[in-house]
Amino acid sequence: EGVANATILRMYELRQWCESMIHDARILKASENFAKVRESERHKNNDAIQRSGPKIFWDELFENELVGLVKVAGEEYEATNYKAALKSGLYDFISARDFYREATKAAGVGIHQDCARRYIELQALMVTVVAPHWAEHIWREVLGKEDSVQNARWPEVASSKPELDAAREYVRSTSSNITSAEGAQLKKMSKGKVTQFDPKKEKKLSVFAALKYPAWQEDVIETVRKNFDGMKVDIGAVSKGLPKAESKRAMPFVQVLKRSLESGIDANTVFERKLVFDEVQVLGEMVAGLKQSVQKCKVVEVVVVDEGGKGGKVVAGSEGVEVGARREDLPGAAEGAVPGQPGFYFENV
């Protein structure tokens, strides 16, 4: 009963959100700023403040995730795996929307009106099988379609782009690692232990990105290559093939390779160790969100480190950060950075 009530509430709230996005839409003019409009005008749902025009990184990431979920949901419906189809077509769909909402809000740009409408259309189609009345209401009363959703065809979508899939997972894992590290410091502090910074005070977050891999990883790459059958990586065999002294630092890197290979990224790209997305560009896009998600964060700075991690150059940052400036005597976290796995460091300001 509890699960049923929670699902009913979720569908009710989702319906309200869809109605607000279409009926209460406030489309920004080219000269208007999302954050300023949000502060100066009253809206029941600030998501309804939407923009038009060219799409940005977060829009592309969102649309690409929806495409992948539509593919998965379609396959599950065909196999009559309705529980799995509902997971992809409803719960994961909502999670994708929430991630997009938070990212665009943090970036100070808001949701793109085309992305909002596309999401609502696809969401109605994804749940037509299991919630026909809900889908019909969204299709006709909200979207204003003349025909019934029951007559609509399953959406034909292209395959999701591996480079955008990888960028999305990078954003999520990096954000999670940073907030988890901050949480760990708070927990440590509550137990009376000494911490490298006071998480309750204003702070600066430095993110360190490396453009090249350290030499020790060459052997790891070769070991993984030997134990990849074209579909899966044999982690057990890889672990046995690595020197025990290297296991501690090698296995996290092995997991990164495994995820990349098993997600469909071309094996040659992985083994040649080329990221399928521009890490520096993605970190630049993440700056605003990181500043908002980290408590009392006043400055975020992205530094590309030199080989060895002792120095580097600032390539992106929050307002006031001098892009292009050199940074020397970097903390140990900079030395551990590798492409796809940035290091990060907190300090009070």
pLDDT in tens, the chain (349 residues): 788 889 899 999 999 999 999 999 999 999 999 999 999 999 999 999 999 999 999 999 999 999 999 999 999 999 999 999 999 999 999 999 999 999 999 999 999 999 999 999 999 999 999 999 999 999 999 999 999 999 999 999 999 999 999 999 999 999 999 999 888 888 877 777 777 888 889 999 999 999 988 777 888 888 999 999 988 999 999 999 888 888 888 898 899 889 988 888 888 888 887 889 999 999 999 999 999 989 999 999 999 999 888 999 999 999 999 999 999 999 999 998 989 999 999 999 9
Give one word for 201, left, alpha or beta, with left for phi > 0 and alpha for psi -120 to 50: beta
What residues does each domain of the chain span?
Answer: 2-160, 163-348
Dmax (CA) for the chain in angstroms is 67
Return d(Cα 157, Cα 70) in angstroms, integer. Answer: 8
CB atoms near residue 134 (< 10 Å): 19
Between the alpha carbon of residue 110 and those of residues 17, 45, 101, 123, 135, the distances in Å are 15, 12, 7, 20, 26
Q: Are 62 and 123 in contact (CB under 8 A)?
A: no
Side chain identity at residue 135, one-letter code: A
- Please identify which residue in the block is written with the tokens 């419906």: 77
Closest CA to 210 of 346, 344, 340: 340
Return d(Cα 29, Cα 52) in angstroms, integer. Answer: 8
Side chain identity at residue 110, one-letter code: G
Domain 2-160 bears CATH identifier 1.10.730.10: yes
Return d(Cα 202, Cα 223) in angstroms, integer. Answer: 44
Q: Are 218 and 273 in contact (CB under 8 A)?
A: no
- Please identify which residue in the block is written with the tokens 């495994």: 258
Q: Are 275 and 167 in contact (CB under 8 A)?
A: no
User: Any idea what the Cα angle at residue 294 is, between residues 291 and 295, rounded to 5°?
Assistant: 115
CB atoms near residue 314 (< 10 Å): 17
Give me the numbers of helices (H) and strands (E) for the chain, helices first please: 14, 8
Instruction: Provide the token pair at 290.
Output: 């990181």
Q: What was the pLDDT predicted at 170?
A: 97
Q: Which residues pair with 313 in a beta bridge?
A: 304, 326
